[in-house]
């Protein structure tokens, strides 16, 4: 099957008092295996809403989300979280690591939660830290890591259980250019090796252009970006 994630006729809106705020209007998007999609758009255009819906963190008012061909709306909550856990790696803009735990533990615990046994999880966690050149920071808690280092850990944590798709909401939002280039290159590199699809929101066009396809989110709809 080549479609990993499909959003169909998604409508998202909120009420502020009696005022209806339309965020996503009848939006559809399909992401096939290994493809890398960027979403750009101004602040408040609905990028995070779109990504939260795609990752099953938020439900749309109207519309369907298919993950690996399964209609998420038709699933019970427990099935939905299993589908999410197995197939989606999520990277936030910042502070997504568990602050009480070391870089190693952040990955190790994620693997345990994904039902891997302890010795495999330990080995794999170090292996992943090695990929992003963070093995010598394994025992550092996030507060003792730089922003770029935290994001490198967040990336390998997101891919630790080999999800089909990584969804990243401005993963380099708080980094300087050098770190943000490194983080994105690592993300692309790891995704390519594993044939992972990527859905990434960014305000940085240079980063967006590193993906296969760029969409602009404007007035609740997606438009293909062409130069
Ligand atoms: N729970 C909510 N209730 C009301 N309005 C909301 C709610 N969540 C989001 N919105 C509105 O939806 C719009 C889109 O928000 P969203 O966070 O998706 O934008 P964004 O494109 O990610 O912005 P940014 O680039 O600043 O992160 C905003 O105008 C926001 O005010
Ligand atoms: Mg946002």
Is the entire prediction scored with pTM above 0.85?
yes
Mind listing the pLDDT tens digit for each residue in 34-56?
Answer: 999 999 999 999 999 999 999 99
Distance 44 CA to ligand 2 centre (A): 7
Residue 34 is classified by DSSP as T
> CB of 207 within 8 A of CB of 190?
no
Closest residue by CA, ligand 1 atom 7: 14
Residue showing tokens 């929101």? 201
Q: Are 192 and 33 in contact (CB under 8 A)?
A: no
Q: How far apart are alpha carbons 137 and 164 in whole angstroms?
A: 28
Q: Which ligand sits closest to the CA of 59?
A: 1
113 three-state secondary structure: helix
Q: Measured from the CB, is residue 43 less than 6 Å from ligand 1?
A: yes
> Hey, what domains does the chain have and what are their CATH numbers?
3-224 (3.40.50.300)
pLDDT tens for residues 85-140?
999 999 988 778 999 999 999 999 999 999 999 999 999 999 999 988 899 999 99
Taking the centre of ligand 2 as the mean of its atom positions, its distance from the CA of residue 116, in whole angstroms, is 32
Asked whether 52 lines ligand 1 (CB < 6 A), one says no
Neighbour-count burial of 199, counting CB atoms closer than 10 A to its CB (0-12 exposed, 13-18 middle, 19+ buried): buried
């Amino acid at each position: 099957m080549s479609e990993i994630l499909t959003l169909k006729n998604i409508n998202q809106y909120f009420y502020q008092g009696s005022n209806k705020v339309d965020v996503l209007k009848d939006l559809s998007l399909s992401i096939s295996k290994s493809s890398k999609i960027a979403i750009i758009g101004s602040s408040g255009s609905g990028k995070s809403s779109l990504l939260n819906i795609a990752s099953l963190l938020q439900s749309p008012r109207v519309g369907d989300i298919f993950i690996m061909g399964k209609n998420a709306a038709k699933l019970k909550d427990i099935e939905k979280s299993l589908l999410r856990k197995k197939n989606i790696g999520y990277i936030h803009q910042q502070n997504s690591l568990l602050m009480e735990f070391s870089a190693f533990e952040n990955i190790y615990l994620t693997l345990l939660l994904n039902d891997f046994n302890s010795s495999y999880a330990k080995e794999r966690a170090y292996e992943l830290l090695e990929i992003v050149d963070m093995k010598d920071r394994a025992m550092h808690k996030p507060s003792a890591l730089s922003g770029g280092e935290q994001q490198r850990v967040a990336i390998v944590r997101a891919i630790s259980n080999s999800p089909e798709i990584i969804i990243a909401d401005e993963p380099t939002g708080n980094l300087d250019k050098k770190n943000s280039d490194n983080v994105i290159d690592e993300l692309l590199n790891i995704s390519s090796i594993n044939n992972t699809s990527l859905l990434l929101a960014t305000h940085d066009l240079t980063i967006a252009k590193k993906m296969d396809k760029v969409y602009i989110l404007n007035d609740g709809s997606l438009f293909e970006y062409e130069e």
